[in-house]
Chain A
Amino acid sequence: MSYFCDKYPVIEKKALAGGIFSITVKCPDAANAAEVGQFANILADGYTLRRPISICEIDKDQGTLRFVFEVRGKGTEVISHANVGDNLDVLGPLGNGFKVPEGKKVIVVGGGIGVPPLLGIAKQCGADCTAILGFRSYDKVILDKEFAAYGANTIVCTDDGSVGYHGVVTTPLTEELAKGNVDLVCACGPEPMIKAVVKECEDNNIPCRVSLEQRMGCGVGACVVCSCMTVRNGKEYYSRVCKDGPVFDAKEVRFDG
């Protein structure tokens, strides 16, 4: 794995929903090195810290990376102002991806802005992927048609029932797991959702990989601020979300740590 840092041109930009943007940059070297589930640390002009943003799609032929992100504060707002023709200063690809083996039956579970990094799994697995995507309400739903276009069995859930399942992602997850024939679950989203998904997988004895978030500094493993408590060989220690993650085997993560 290797990463790059340069200013890359924005070649496509779309607003997907209120405050949620899709920006594609031309960065052949970074795109060629990227894996599904990795992220990039993107400079927001005027701010000390870069903003970690997950990679939504990798196109190695076109040499592009696509980022889908939500404006959460002033830094992401600055990044959202980048238009076609502008440059984005991108440090990436960073971290470890989902590493989904070929030919596996996978369920991906995404919550809100945790959905984008899972799209690459649908692209890889097609009809062998079931995508359970949870959102607050209909106006926050993103990427569902793209999961479906890649052939994934796509199930949308909303907290308010305005579209799809009325309720949380674990209800359809339980049903899908009960059908059997699942090799792996991959999840990204808010911590309560991740915890619920991990418990469901434990109860059904299905391997689970989770993509985690933490307040981050350098993005490359140097500053050791984006810690999460992990257990390996019976020993507890703080792993770095940026370098050791962001995708972890759920068995290694201590969510109450």
Chain B
Amino acid sequence: MADLSVKIAGVDFKNPVIMASGAYGNGECYTDLYPISELGGISCKGMTIEPKMGNIPPRIAETPSGILNSVGLQNIGVRGFVDYYLDTLKEEGKGTVIIANVAGATLDDYIAAAEILESSNVDMIELNISCPNVKAGGATWGVTTEGAAAVTKAVRNATKKPLIVKLTPNVTSIADIAKAVEAEGADSISVINTLLGMRIDIRNRRPILHNNVGGLSGPAIFPVAVRCVWQCFNAVKIPIIGMGGISTWEDAVEMMLAGASAIQMGTAIFTDPYAPLKVTEGLAKYMDDNGIKSLSEIVGQVKPW
């Protein structure tokens, strides 16, 4: 069997398939089907310094080849995550990389969360500066180079944990944002968060989401994600975790060719809970069939016209 391991920011992943934040809870919801140790990593539900109630429902709408969501970061707070979930995740993961996805309204929120996580045994921190569904903070940090740089710098000073910054595609130049966070000490970037979207019920003229707008994910956004990863790959040297609409092993290979060292999957598991395992199996066969010893051989190997 092929060696699927990848290394990102000094952290070893047993395989390149990471569950995306928001789609997998804190790893507790799918264990009836398979153990979390099958996964390369889990990016846990986006957490804030204080618990958050989340947005008024409806919070989801189906779209062609995707979904719109506006959960609004409902979570039990960083302290709750560390106290109730982290030890179990580490124990059951048996080497599966546990990533804390952190969001905030103010710089102080991000710093306080990072300080709590610094003294925990979480493996990595993923900075969420791209959530489209909260009124304060969230994507407002991620849409300017100055904002993205400021959060990265503040958190970098608060923690030595390997730091991933998750970028929003809802910007003019994602490559410029990538360069800004790299310059402030990000160890990796995850690309992309959801695209801002909207659906309207034509019968009652109400938006389907109570928040009016929400984040679009699923296969519909895959080409946008591939483009963003490729643009970032050409702009920065730090490793990229590619995400956005991946549902098959072929998608994973495509994302890696564009420049991703690992991938995240989210929406795909709502359709098929086994999708992450199928991607891992497919990648292994692809490597065997093509004589690939390490997935690092294909990262960024697209041949542009």
Contact = CB atoms under 8 A, between A and B. Distances in A.
Interface of A: 2-5, 43, 47-50, 75, 91, 214-228, 236-238, 243
A218 B54 contact: no
Nearest to A41: B270
B61 interface: yes
B26 to A, nearest CB: 9
Contacts of A222: 23-25, 29-30, 269
Interface of B: 22-25, 28-30, 32-33, 45, 53-54, 57-63, 65-67, 69, 71, 74, 208, 218-219, 267, 269-274
Q: Which of B270, B273, B274 has the most CB of A within 10 A?
A: B270
Contacts of B218: 48
Contact of B69 (A75, A217, A220, A236): A217
B274 to A, nearest CB: 7
Contacts of B61: 215
5 contacts: A43-B271, A218-B269, A220-B32, A223-B22, A227-B54
Chain A facing B: main interface SS: loop
Contacts of B32: 2-4, 220
B58 A47 contact: no
A140 to B, nearest CB: 20
A221 B23 CA distance: 10
B62 A47 contact: yes
Contacts of B23: 218, 222-223
Contacts of B22: 223-224
A254 to B, nearest CB: 12
Given A48-B218, A49-B270, A214-B58, A223 B69 contact: yes
Contacts of A48: 62-63, 65-67, 218-219, 267, 270-271
B271 A228 contact: no
Q: Which of A2, A47, A49, A214 has the most CB of B within 10 A?
A: A49
B54 A224 contact: yes
A230 to B, nearest CB: 11
Contacts of B24: 222
Given A215-B58, A225-B59, A5 B219 contact: no
The 7 residue pairs across chains A and B that have the minimum distance between CB atoms: A222-B29, A222-B25, A225-B60, A225-B59, A227-B57, A215-B58, A220-B29
A215 B57 contact: yes
Given A216-B60, A223-B270, A49 B67 contact: yes
